[in-house]
Amino acid sequence: MIEKIKTYVTGLDEILNGGIPKGNEVLIAGPTGSGKTILSLEFLYNGALKGEKGLYVSFEEDEKAIVRNIAEIGLDISKQVDNKMIRIIKYDPYRFENLTDLLSMNIKETGATRVVIDSITAINLYIQEAKDIRKILVDIQTILRDNNCTAFLISEIPSENNKMISRFGVEEFVSDGIIILYYTHVSSEFSRSVLVWKMRGSTHSRKIHPFKISKEGIVIYPREEALIKL
């Protein structure tokens, strides 16, 4: 039996039939504001509470901003950061660090088994060629596999195109799983929903389920179906 890593995000393990197969690289795709960062930080935080170390590689915000923003929804990750259960690093491509070296070094230093890269779309800021992006993604995959990490790779998709999963169309080929967060509206009312598009090594719900972001963080409703127009 494949070992599964529980996300402990309310409702998510249920629609994943138990969790994410250990070692899977999961693309978390969604438009801006859909909840990708919150979901990923909960994945690390919940793991840290169970003794699993986490690494968060951010392209935009630094540790301070991330800790402060997530505290707004009532999730205080500062203790986990202080006691080294979660490490947050900001990757700055303009400082010419090599992303794959940085990733490998930080996984080894921390012993992280849960890893988040927020976002792989941002790689496009400094690499334009699809084949070069693909090479980086394969290198990232190799590092994650060699270190037995279960990872969330965040993919930002344009809000106006719900049918897209990734920006470059290459990300999905190097991921073992895809979870899509929708943020759609009917007239002026926006609603959130989630779909497990694929998950290697596991059966899962094939329905689109509503979710909300509240003071308790993300809450997914496994027994409800979202009726959204894609």
Ligand X SMILES: Nc1ncnc2c1ncn2[C@@H]1O[C@H](COP(=O)(O)OP(=O)(O)OP(=O)(O)O)[C@@H](O)[C@H]1O
- Applying CB under 6 A, the residues found at the interface with ligand X are 30, 32-38, 72-73, 156, 213-214
Give which of Mg ion, ligand X, none residue 158 binds (C-beta under 5 to 8 Å, depending on kind): none
Question: Quick one: which of 127, 124, 196, 192 has its CA closest to 155?
Answer: 124
Of 21 and 27, which has the nearer Cβ to Mg ion?
27
Q: What is the CA radius of gyration of the chain?
A: 17
Helix axes of 63-71 and 36-49: crossing angle, nearest 10 degrees: 90
Please identify which residue in 7, 24, 34, 37 interacts with Mg ion, judged by CB under 5 A: 37
| Class of residue 173 by CB neighbours under 10 A (exposed 0-12, middle 13-18, buried 19+) | exposed
**Nearest approach, Cβ of 1 to ligand X (angstroms)?**
32
Task: Give the residue from 37, 30, 40 showing the smallest Cα distance to 7.
Answer: 40
Q: Which of ligand X, Mg ion, none has residue 169 at its interface (CB below 5 to 8 Å by kind)?
A: none
What x-and-dash track marks residues 142-181 binding Mg ion by CB under 5 A?
Answer: ----------------------------------------
Closer Cβ to ligand X, 36 or 114, answer by number = 36
The two three-digit tokens of residue 114, written as one number: 């849960």
Task: Tell me the CA end-to-end span of the chain in Å, nearest whole number.
Answer: 35
Minimum distance of Mg ion from residue 37's CB (angstroms): 3
Query: Residue 169 CB, nearest distance to ligand X (Å)?
Result: 19
Q: For binding to Mg ion (CB under 5 A), which residues are involved?
A: 37
